[in-house]
């Protein structure tokens, strides 16, 4: 059994943008520091974005930023991880005013990740950032990812003015299905107005801004005909835990039964995720026997959130899960290995 980290991160640095060239250079993120308190920022498309926030302290900066690939691989060995799938950090809330900037910065990031992960292709894999402002450009990035070691495309459950079940995304879904790449909804939000509003809530609205869009995308996809339109397309719901699955599946079943005039339904089945190619990252604090009674054991994966420092971060999660999963050895093996291979096509 291999151990696969289904959700890790790179912390973007100046090196991340070294592959931007030509016309794209005018949109290259500019590093800045506050003269008042030393806080770090990026200037991107005319707006300031926080830099190196929510960063873990248990690994080196060079490893976090993937400027030292051997150091990252040494961390994998230390934590008992065979393969690590990497997501960006900056895109949890990053948006753009201009579609040209969106495309340019996404291209730069994806080319950086392709280059660094090619140095350890059996250990490091990556998920491409897709420019939500241009579906044609997003499709181009999916093709680039497929050709250069990428294993999926990532965006948010709320991307600009578009919902994940919008026909706007259908050409991208169709191409991803043809390429065998999953669409991965990672924790985050891609709408500035909603993000700014929710930041006024306690804890800066972190659960509403980052976790709820993932859950909402899951709920909406199951209520829609997207899985019927794209029956081979896999979807992932990343870094929001899995404890919400029983509630949402119960709500969906009751909601559908209500609209059909039959409130006395038999409840959700444990193969709804499998039937619709939906995968969810779980955490060590999830009540997995209960979750699996709704989700089954074939569509759960687990990640460490490597590089970050928040409620989802647990560098030893895979080792802890292997030793204390609370489920059968067969289910443990699926969550640590087989399911991640199925999701990411590894």
Q: Give the Cα separation of 121 and 11 in Å (integer).
A: 19
Q: Which residues contact 120 (CB under 8 A, 6 or more apart)?
A: 69, 72, 73
Q: Give per-residue pLDDT as tens, 285-343.
A: 899 999 999 999 999 999 999 988 666 567 788 888 888 888 999 999 999 999 999 99
Q: Virtual CA dihedral for 183, 185, 188, 190, nearest 10 degrees?
A: 50
Closest CA to 213 of 282, 157, 159: 157
Q: 86 near 78, Cβ under 8 Å? A: no
pLDDT(198) > 70: no
How much of the chain exceeds pLDDT 70, in percent? 93
SS (H, E, C) 82-140: CEEEEECCHHHCCCCCCHHHHHHHHHHHHHHHHHHHCCCCCCEEEEEECCCCCHHHHHH
Q: In CATH, what number is assigned to the domain containing residue 293?
A: 3.20.20.140
Number of domains within the chain: 1
Q: Which residues contact 171 (CB under 8 A, 6 or more apart)?
A: 135, 139
Backbone angles phi, psi at 222, to 5 degrees: -70, -25
pLDDT(262) > 60: no
264 pLDDT band, cuts 50/70/90, is very low
Q: Which residues contact 22 (CB under 8 A, 6 or more apart)?
A: none
Position of tokens 């059994």?
1
DSSP code string of 258-311: HHTT--------TTHHHHTTEEEEE-TTS-HHHHHHHH-SSSEEE---BTB-ST
Provide the pLDDT for residue 331. Answer: 95
35 pLDDT band, cuts 50/70/90, is confident
Q: Give per-residue pLDDT as tens, 222-241.
A: 989 999 999 999 999 999 99
pLDDT(51) > 50: yes
Mean pLDDT, residues 54-77:
92
State the residue range of the domain holding 312.
Answer: 4-344
């Amino acid at each position: 059994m291999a151990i696969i980290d289904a959700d890790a991160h790179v912390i973007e640095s100046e090196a991340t943008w070294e592959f931007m060239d030509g016309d794209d250079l005018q949109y290259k993120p500019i590093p800045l520091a506050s003269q008042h308190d030393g806080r770090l920022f990026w200037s991107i498309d005319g707006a300031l974005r926080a830099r190196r926030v929510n960063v873990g302290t248990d690994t080196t900066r060079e490893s976090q930023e993937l400027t030292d690939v051997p150091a990252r691989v040494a961390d994998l060995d230390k934590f008992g991880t065979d393969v690590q799938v990497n997501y960006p950090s900056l895109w949890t809330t990053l948006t753009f005013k201009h579609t040209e900037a969106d495309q340019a910065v996404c291209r730069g990031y994806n080319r950086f990740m392709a280059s660094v992960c090619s140095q350890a292709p059996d250990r490091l894999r990556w998920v491409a950032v897709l420019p939500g402002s241009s579906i044609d450009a997003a499709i181009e990035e999916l093709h680039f990812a497929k050709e250069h070691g990428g294993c999926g495309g990532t965006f948010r459950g709320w991307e600009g003015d578009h919902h994940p079940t919008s026909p706007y995304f259908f050409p991208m879904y169709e191409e991803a299905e043809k390429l065998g790449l999953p669409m991965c909804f990672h924790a985050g939000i891609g709408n500035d107005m909603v993000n700014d509003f929710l930041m006024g809530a306690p804890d800066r609205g972190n659960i509403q801004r980052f976790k709820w869009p993932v859950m909402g995308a899951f709920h909406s996809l199951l209520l829609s005909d997207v899985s019927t339109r794209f029956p081979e397309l896999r979807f992932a719901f990343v870094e929001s835990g899995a404890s919400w699955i029983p509630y949402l599946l119960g709500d969906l079943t009751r909601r559908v039964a209500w609209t059909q005039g039959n409130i006395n339904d038999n409840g959700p089945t444990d193969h709804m995720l499998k039937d619709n190619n939906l995968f969810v990252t779980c955490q060590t604090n999830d009540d997995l026997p209960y979750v699996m009674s709704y989700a089954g054991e074939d569509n759960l994966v687990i990640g460490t959130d490597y590089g970050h420092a928040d409620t989802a971060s647990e560098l030893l999660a895979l080792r802890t899960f292997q030793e204390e999963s609370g489920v059968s050895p067969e289910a443990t093996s699926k969550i640590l290995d087989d399911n991640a291979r199925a999701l990411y096509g590894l």
